[in-house]
């Protein structure tokens, strides 16, 4: 059985379906645990889950490379798919119209993640203030990948430790302050605009510091209309963040203005 030139393996066991369900919800931790119990589908699950983990960490290059590797998994033979460095725009070959439920749903999740990444890049490229947009997008990613992800705050069972691979919970996201968000923003900026320098504290200050940045990020989330992407629901953490942003009803000026300041922030707030 083939899908766009690739071979789709025989129907997969229930554990594989549970794994792809976890990926649909964005629960990459559970997906990584289940991947170890599977065969070839487990390789695909692990790669896509690792892409999500790297996205949660703000590691744009690593996330894209893992996503490309996940798209390559259903191929019967070793493919020629290669991704380059910053600014890569390789079209990923996700399985389409597959009769097997696992690979069909896996492909839809992959398309969703690819679509989200590309949409983010396009927003940055189309902006007159790409550095500011990168900082706002870094905060949006923090909200939708870390803060509103319930598993970020879920303690392991008594006597257990967080998995070694859970670098998000174990400290890389650490203190969500200025340096944290500037690092995330620079990872994104260097990927989309590799020859245009780096973000500095000035961008942070212009946005009003921690509170101002979050206000603009929540406004951006509240205005997004992407309830579904690639025929699959959004991640649970993403839906939760959008719902909370809309309830917050924050009103900020457009991101592109020279100084962005929310109604509830003073001009000296940083």
Would you list the domain boundaries of the chain? Answer: 2-248
For residue 2, the surrounding DSSP H or E stretch is: strand 2-3
Per-residue DSSP letter, 169: I
In three-state secondary structure terms, 190 is helix
**Whole-angstrom distance, CA of residue 247 vs CA of residue 25:** 22
**Whole-angstrom distance, CA of residue 120 vs CA of residue 31:** 24
Question: Within its chain, how far is the Cα of 117 from the centroid?
Answer: 7
- pLDDT at residue 43, rounded to an integer: 92
Both tokens of residue 173? 């996201």
CB-neighbour burial class of residue 181 (10 A; exposed 0-12, middle 13-18, buried 19+): buried
**Whole-angstrom distance, CA of residue 105 vs CA of residue 45:** 11
- pLDDT at residue 156, rounded to an integer: 59
* Residue ranges of the chain whose pLDDT lies below 50: 1-5, 7-8, 76-86, 161-162, 164-165, 167, 169-175, 230, 252-270
Closest CA to 7 of 116, 99, 86, 80: 99
- pLDDT at residue 207, rounded to an integer: 92
- pLDDT at residue 170, rounded to an integer: 42
Both tokens of residue 218? 């929540």
Both tokens of residue 6? 């690739």
Both tokens of residue 118? 């590309």
**Whole-angstrom distance, CA of residue 126 vs CA of residue 76:** 38
């Amino acid at each position: 059985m083939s899908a766009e030139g690739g071979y789709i393996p025989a129907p997969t066991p229930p554990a594989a379906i549970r794994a792809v369900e976890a990926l649909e919800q964005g629960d990459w931790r559970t997906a990584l645990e289940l991947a170890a119990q599977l065969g070839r589908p487990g390789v695909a699950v692990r790669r896509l889950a690792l892409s999500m983990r790297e996205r949660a960490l703000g590691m744009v290059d690593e996330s894209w490379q893992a996503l490309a590797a996940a798209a390559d998994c259903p191929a019967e033979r070793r493919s020629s798919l290669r991704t380059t460095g910053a600014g890569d725009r390789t079209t990923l070959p996700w399985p389409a119209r597959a009769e097997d439920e696992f690979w069909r749903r896996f492909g839809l999740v992959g398309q969703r993640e690819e679509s989200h990444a590309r949409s983010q890049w396009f927003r940055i490229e189309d902006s007159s203030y790409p550095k500011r947009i990168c900082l706002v997008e870094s905060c949006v990613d923090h909200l939708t990948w870390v803060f509103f992800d319930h598993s970020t705050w879920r303690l392991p069972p008594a006597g257990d430790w967080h998995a070694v691979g859970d670098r998000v919970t174990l400290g890389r996201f650490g203190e969500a302050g200025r340096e944290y968000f500037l690092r995330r923003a620079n990872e994104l900026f260097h990927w989309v605009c590799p020859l245009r320098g780096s973000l500095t504290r000035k961008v942070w200050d212009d946005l009003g510091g921690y509170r101002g940045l979050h206000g603009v990020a929540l406004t951006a989330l509240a205005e997004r209309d992407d309830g579904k992407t690639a025929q699959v629901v959004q991640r649970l953490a993403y839906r939760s963040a959008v719902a909370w942003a809309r309830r917050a009803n924050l009103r900020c000026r457009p991101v592109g203005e020279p100084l962005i300041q929310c109604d509830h922030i003073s001009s000296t707030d940083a």
